[in-house]
Amino acid sequence: MGEWYQPMSQLRTIPDTIQKTQCIALNTSGETAMRQGPEQGFGQDYERCFDELNHAIEQLGGKADPAQISMTAELIIQTMSGPWRYFHTPEHIFEVGESGDAIEVLSALFHDLVYVQVDQVVSVNTSRYVAPFVKEIGGQLVILERWQLPNDPLFEMVSQIFGFTPGQTLLPTAGQNEFLSAVIAAKSLEHALPPAIIAQIVACIEATIPFRPPSESGQSVGDRLFGRLSQVNHNFELGWTEADIHAIVKRAIRLANRDIENFAYEASAEFLDNTWNLMPETNHDLTSANAYTVSGYRLSLQKMEGFMNFLKPELVFQRYQDEPAPELYQSLICRTQKNLEVARLYLGSKLLSIAVIEALSQRIGQDIPLATMMGELPGRGLPVAQLENFLPNIDVSIPPANAVEQEVLELLEKGRTKSSSYDVKNSPVATFIIKSIGFSEARRLLLQAKEFFKRSVSAEEFLALCDRDVVDTIIRAVLQVFEYRKNAMAGRMNAEVKV
């Protein structure tokens, strides 16, 4: 999915969360021994990863060292189970490789290993593989100059497949994560597989760099990869024919399309479920349920809404020669277009509703927790006052104009397929606003809301532009949340007095 870069010390290393998971240790005889930890899922994911690594290497005619593969499986699962991983998890890499051949399986296991925007750092375990080749300058990773690089033909091959050169600054939105993941894959597998096989794995990982348009000359992602692979084949004497290279590129495109297949889900609600899993990966405040601020939640929605409006279906799925087949490719594009239309309107509606809440919250202070205004999320078995309980259930005043509007209204009212840890699946405030004023007026107000976010319009000026009855109703509901809390506090105080 989309990537947003925030400057950070990317090579600041941290230990992986070994204390939270099962981990693998080598005993004195070199055999692997399991140390039991509290998270049973880690052990299952590790065993599956270990088995897939071994089986794929065996299918490719390689010979894996059990201790090395054990360490690699541990590295992959620990990293993919990091505290900020909600979408890019072990389940995701298994799904991406599930229906592929051995090269696709291995590529899928490694392709998201480095994800700096999500993990915030390159962990100490992964940094062992990449530190000999990159340095950090001003919060950005840079490939070492040629005279600084070790004599490593495998790294040189990976660099040429990506089209990267010594001294180049790596960008998170332009292949940094995929490049470093491919380096780790190559170095982890070099003991078991020949360069010609590793190059095919690296090509698959390169193809997963998302959302790239054709070049100025009209070359597709696959065309450009074919050109680089042809040069690599010559430079490293890999022995491929032209037909071999075409097949390698088609496999890479197949894997890349499977990596983002959720964009073409039949049900838009399922696509939105994945979107809600992506948001806390790059907006870590959302993981603190009932503590994140109104503006923090709004910023998360704003980023995602902006990304969905930028994206075009043709940037999501790639095609090279007959991969995928024309009918399938057209189906992917059509379903993606529909999901993007639903997501844009859904996110825009939620963004308008949070704009009203944010403008009201500024009457009592800055950086107000969203739970203060709307009540805490349900859970923990405790009674809570929620804003939605104090909003009237009204009929639709302006019917949806088309099927997309009808679907979005149902998604807002009934909810996405799944709840998340940081948000409820339905959208009561957005539902009330849309039912009251309709989508057309909501679109107009969203433009004003974005001016409010930029501070071009004050909170009170924005509220004055909104329907007065709608705003007054939301104010009364917020006041009832406050009243509930006041009464609850008074009840506790009375009990303490009696004691």
| pLDDT range class, residue 381, cuts 50, 70, 90 | low
| pLDDT range class, residue 385, cuts 50, 70, 90 | confident
Q: Which one has a higher pLDDT value, 110 or 5? A: 110
Q: Which one has a higher pLDDT value, 342 or 416? A: 342
3-state SS, 413-459, equals HHCCCCCECCECCCCHHHHHHHHHHHHHHHHHHHHHHHHHHCCCCCH
pLDDT at 278: 64
Per the prediction, the chain carries an average pLDDT of 84
DSSP per residue over 325-392, as a string? Answer: -HHHHHHHHHHHHHHHHHHHHHHHHHHHHHHHHHHHHTTT-SS-BHHHHH-PPS-TT-----GGGGS-
How large is the average pLDDT for residues 197-223?
Answer: 95
Q: What percent of the chain has pLDDT over 70?
A: 81
pLDDT at 217: 92
How large is the average pLDDT for residues 105-112?
Answer: 93
Q: What are phi and psi of 11, to 5 degrees?
A: -95, 10
pLDDT at 5: 31
Q: Which one has a higher pLDDT value, 216 or 139? A: 216
Please choose, from the candidates 467, 395, 465, 485, the residue with its C-alpha nearest in 3D space to the C-alpha of residue 431. Answer: 395
Lowest-confidence pick of 14-23, 319-328, 404-413:
14-23
Residue 110 has pLDDT above 80, yes or no: yes
Domain boundaries, the chain: 18-259, 268-498
Residue 270 structure tokens: 């399922």
| pLDDT range class, residue 386, cuts 50, 70, 90 | confident
Residue 423 has pLDDT above 50, yes or no: yes
Cβ–Cβ < 8 Å for 442, 348: yes
Q: What are phi and psi of 293, to 5 degrees?
A: -85, 165
Core vs surface per residue 55-74: b (16+ CB within 10 A) or e: ebbeebebebeeeebbbbbb
How large is the average pLDDT for residues 402-428?
Answer: 79
pLDDT at 335: 95
| pLDDT per residue as tens digits for the range 133-159 | 999 898 889 999 999 999 999 999 999
Q: Rounded to an integer, what distance in angstroms lies between the CA atom of residue 391 and that of residue 378?
A: 17
Residue 366 structure tokens: 């800055």
Q: What percent of the chain has pLDDT over 90?
A: 58
- Residue 100 DSSP SS3: coil
pLDDT at 20: 33
How many Cβ atoms from other residues are within 10 Å of residue 237's Cβ?
10
Residues 6 or more apart in contact with residue 263 via CB below 8 angstroms: 271, 313, 316, 317, 332, 335, 336, 339, 340
How large is the average pLDDT for residues 358-365?
Answer: 92
Cβ–Cβ < 8 Å for 327, 256: no
How large is the average pLDDT for residues 328-338?
Answer: 95
- Residue 293 DSSP SS3: strand
| pLDDT per residue as tens digits for the range 255-298 | 999 998 989 988 888 888 877 766 655 665 555 555 678 888 88
| pLDDT per residue as tens digits for the range 8-37 | 344 443 333 333 333 333 333 333 333 333
Sign of CA dihedral 371, 375, 378, 381: positive
Lowest-confidence pick of 107-116, 187-196, 310-319:
107-116
pLDDT at 479: 92
Q: Rounded to an integer, what distance in angstroms lies between the CA atom of residue 486 and that of residue 464?
A: 29
Sign of CA dihedral 241, 242, 248, 251: negative
Based on DSSP, count helices (H) and strands (E) in the chain, helices before strands. 20, 4
Provide the pairing of β-strand 140-143 with 134-137.
antiparallel
Look up the pTM and report it: 0.84
| pLDDT range class, residue 456, cuts 50, 70, 90 | very high
Please choose, from the candidates 136, 186, 196, 141, the residue with its C-alpha nearest in 3D space to the C-alpha of residue 159. Answer: 186
| pLDDT range class, residue 99, cuts 50, 70, 90 | confident
pLDDT at 372: 83
pLDDT at 498: 38
What is the amino acid identity at position 102? A
